[in-house]
Amino acid sequence: MNTVITERHTTPDLETDDHRTVGDYTLAEPRFTCRHVNVFYGDKQALFDINLDIGQREVIALIGPSGCGKSTFLRCLNRMNDIIEGCRVEGDIRLDDQDIYAKEMDPVLLRARVGMVFQKPNPFPKSIYDNVAYGPRIHGLAANRTELDEIVETSLKRAGLWKEVKDRLDHPATGLSGGQQQRLCIARTIAVNPEVVLMDEPCSALDPIATATIEQLIDELRSRYTIVIVTHSMQQAARVSQRTAYFHMGRLIEVGETTEIFTNPRHPLTEDYITGRFG
């Protein structure tokens, strides 16, 4: 007990200390298992020895100060780092026990299984319908127009956008409001029927009302998909996630049940971050 208290008042030096993640990062039935993940941009190391399991049908929030590597970690999970020149990923990342960086894994197919929603809504300059239909079309998910219509409709319904746009599916998607655009991007992502949805600060460009809608949506999507969400809002992490992982300077500092992390953080860095923001 005594040691814990002294620990809380000395901020450990991450450059020299051999850091071990606080909390249990393993799960009994993981969807993703990440072990010893290091990521480099050129010579610069952005992630250091990350170990983390991500469960089935859970929402896990990645939090931490900006530049700590949350997005980088997220982008490892669907190999989006591949398209960045000079980015190198080391370690072992498995999806359903399949090495996603193995030679025989096609990143194109991986990304169909692991969808992604970005910080800024990025609908294609096409109609609302064509945005949602884009993924199913390139992956050949629909045999004919009726099936495609169905996919578009269910995806929009699941994203909670159907009522608002059903009469103007042929309108340009860029004419929607920011919140609607982001829900459209979510619909576009789930239209390819992914197992996992990665979200990189999906609400940071939205107003509070649109944010509330998206958070509610995330809660509903949890029953079908595993969701990994990066957020800079701790209230949001607390509201939508079951587990939370705290990153700091490229290290995974602490991971655990969200309620646990927010009420009883064990690592001093986690506590500083959480109390700093709340207090």
Partner 1 sequence: MQPHTLFWMLLGLAAYGYYLGRKRALTVSGGEIRRLHSLPDYYGYYVALWCALPALAILSLWLLLDDKIILRWVLAELPPAYRNLPPDRLSLTVNVIANLLAGERQANTVDPALAEAAEHYRHLKQLGYHALTVLVFACATAALTWAHRRISPTLRARNRVETVVRIALVASSVLAILTTIGIVLSVLFEALRFFEMVSPLEFFFGLHWSPQIAIRADQVGASGSFGFIPLLTGTLLITAIAMAVAAPLGLLSAIYLSEFAKRRTRAIVKPILEVLAGVPTVVYGFFAALVVAPWLRDLGARLGLSISSESALAAGLVMGIMIIPFVSSLTDDALTAVPRSLREGAYGLGATQAETITGVLLPAALPGIVSGLLLAVSRAIGETMIVVMAAGMAAKLTLNPLESVTTITVQIVALLVGDQEFDSPKTLAAFALGLTLFVVTLALNLVALHVIRKYREQYE
Residue ranges in contact with Mg ion by CB under 5 A = 71
Instruction: Confirm or reject binding of residue 108 to ligand ADP (CB under 6 A).
Output: no
Instruction: Report CA dihedral (258, 259, 262, 263) to the nearest 10 degrees.
Output: -160
Residue 150, number of CB atoms within 10 A of its CB: 12
The footprint of partner 1 on residues 144-173 (CB under 8 A) is: 172
Distances (CA, A) of 44 to 69, 128, 188: 12, 40, 34
**The two structure tokens encoding residue 143:** 């045999």
Q: Which of 35, 55, 33, 13 is nearest to 244 (CA)?
A: 55
Instruction: Confirm or reject binding of residue 67 to ligand ADP (CB under 6 A).
Output: yes
Q: Which of 46, 203 has the CB closer to ligand ADP?
A: 46
Minimum distance of partner 1 from residue 271's CB (angstroms): 34
Minimum distance of Mg ion from residue 70's CB (angstroms): 5
188 Cβ partners below 8 Å, 6+ apart?
A: 123, 131, 132, 134, 135, 155
Direct distance between the N- and C-terminal alpha carbons of the chain, in angstroms, rounded to an integer: 25
Given the rule CB under 6 A, which of 61-69, 110-118, 132-140, 149-157 is the region that contacts ligand ADP?
A: 61-69
Interacting partner of 84 out of partner 1, ligand ADP, Mg ion, none (Cβ under 5 to 8 A depending on kind): ligand ADP
Instruction: Confirm or reject binding of residue 268 to partner 1 (CB under 8 A).
Output: no
Q: Which of 225, 279, 234 is nearest to 259 (CA)?
A: 234
Q: Which residues pair with 146 in a beta bridge?
A: none
Interacting partner of 116 out of ligand ADP, partner 1, Mg ion, none (Cβ under 5 to 8 A depending on kind): partner 1
> What are the DSSP calls for 159-221, one per residue?
TT-HHHHTT-TTSBGGGS-HHHHHHHHHHHHHTT--SEEEEESTTTTS-HHHHHHHHHHHHHH
How many residues bind ligand ADP, per CB under 6 A?
11
CA 18 to CA 51: how far, in whole Å?
14
Instruction: Confirm or reject binding of residue 118 to ligand ADP (CB under 6 A).
Output: no
Exactly one of 22, 54, 68, 128 binds ligand ADP (CB under 6 A); that residue is 68
Instruction: Confirm or reject binding of residue 202 to ligand ADP (CB under 6 A).
Output: no
CA 105 to chain centre: 21
Exactly one of 57, 139, 224, 266 binds partner 1 (CB under 8 A); that residue is 139
Minimum distance of ligand ADP from residue 86's CB (angstroms): 7
**The two structure tokens encoding residue 36:** 């010893």
The footprint of partner 1 on residues 104-123 (CB under 8 A) is: 108-112, 115-116, 118, 120, 122-123
The footprint of partner 1 on residues 184-213 (CB under 8 A) is: 185, 188-189, 192
The footprint of ligand ADP on residues 70-89 (CB under 6 A) is: 70-72, 84
Instruction: Confirm or reject binding of residue 176 to partner 1 (CB under 8 A).
Output: no
Q: What is the CA radius of gyration of the chain?
A: 19
Given the rule CB under 6 A, which of 68-76, 146-154, 175-183, 184-192 is the region that contacts ligand ADP?
A: 68-76
How many residues bind partner 1, per CB under 8 A?
28
- Binding stretches for ligand ADP (CB under 6 A): 41, 46, 64, 66-72, 84
